[in-house]
Amino acid sequence: MRAGAWEEIGVGFGYKTAWLAVGSGEVADALGLIGRVAMDWEAGTEAAYRRGVFVASPVDGWTMAHGRIHLADGLDADGPALLSWLGSLGLRLGDLQYFHTDRIGELHAWARVEAGRVVRAYCYDGSRGDVPLHIGEPTGIERQLGVGLGGLEDGREHWTDSDWDDWHAAMPHEQHVMAIARHWGICPLDLPEPPPMPHGIHGFPPGTE
């Protein structure tokens, strides 16, 4: 990782990637990771920005796993594949949260699974000017931030430039994703650098090594 990258992406990860936050359970096993290698926080998070997934040791009661490719682009963050995957994880892990943010592609998503069921999921895809995923009611923090409240309402074919400007202004950005993660339980940017924890596990989902 180049000099200064810590400052750009935060403490290990958060920006330009996707991650899970899980309250309990064997996350590496639920993900089916193969080719596992023990890594410390810095090495693991750096590796997961390139390929694979890093599952960190629990911190503050949460186990976090991140992967820029294999928890994000490879899962189609705005479609049925993501919901199916989250549902299958929920059956094994119970409660969990998913976040994805990419300021370059303007793709920002978050989801919450409770008792194995996806109760909230939202995705904004700025490259398409679309909200392809909107399931469940916005949570309190979303309403407080003013994001995740709507999609593309009917009649948009008649919208003026001003209407579109107002719509885009109401869409989320990466700092909103971090605020939602923080309010729901844990934000990776808030952890010390690096967190004082045992080594975690880096590996690959089946068929991706």
Is position 109 within any domain? yes
Given a cut of 70, is residue 41 above it in pLDDT?
yes
Does some domain include residue 150? yes
| pLDDT reported for residue 171 | 80
Distance of alpha carbon 66 from its chain centroid, rounded?
Answer: 8
pLDDT level of residue 108 (50, 70, 90 thresholds): very high
Write the burial class of residue 160 (CB in 10 Å: 0-12 exposed, 13-18 middle, 19+ buried): exposed
Whether the predicted pLDDT of 3 surpasses 50 = no
Quick check: is 8 in a domain?
A: no
Q: Where residue 4 falls among pLDDT bands split at 50, 70, 90?
A: very low
At position 11, the amino acid (one-letter code) is V
pLDDT at 7 over 70: no
**pLDDT at residue 2 above 70?**
no
Q: Would 3 be classed as within a structural domain?
A: no
Percent of the chain past pLDDT 70, that is, above it, reads 83
Query: What is d(CA 73, CA 17) in angstroms, rounded to the nearest whole number?
Result: 9
Average pLDDT, the chain: 83
What integer pLDDT is reported at residue 30 of this predicted model?
94
* Residue 96 is assigned to a structural domain of this protein: yes
Q: Which domain holds residue 79?
A: 14-196
Segment among 15-29, 39-53, 191-205 with least mean pLDDT:
191-205
Paired strand residues for 77:
none
pLDDT at 156: 63
Classify strands 107-114 and 96-102 as parallel, antiparallel or unpaired.
Answer: antiparallel
Confidence check: pLDDT of 74 > 70: no
Residue 133 maps to a domain: yes
List CB contacts of 88: < 8 A, sequence separation 6 or more: none
| Residue 169, both tokens | 């202004």
The CA-atom distances, in angstroms, between 156 and each of 106, 127, 131, 159, 162 are: 20, 17, 13, 5, 12
> What's the pLDDT band for 161 if we cut at 50, 70, 90?
confident
Rg of the chain over all Cα atoms, to the nearest angstrom: 17
Q: What is the arithmetic mean of pLDDT over 174-179?
A: 94
Polymer length in residues for the chain: 209
Structural domain contains residue 4: no
- Once rounded to an integer, what is the mean pLDDT over residues 135-140? 93
Q: Which helix (H) or strand (E) holds 93?
A: helix 80-93
Domain count of the fold of the chain = 1
What is the pTM (predicted TM-score) of this model? 0.86
For tokens 């979303």, the residue is: 142
- Other residues' Cβ atoms within 10 Å of the Cβ of residue 91: 13
111 falls within a domain: yes
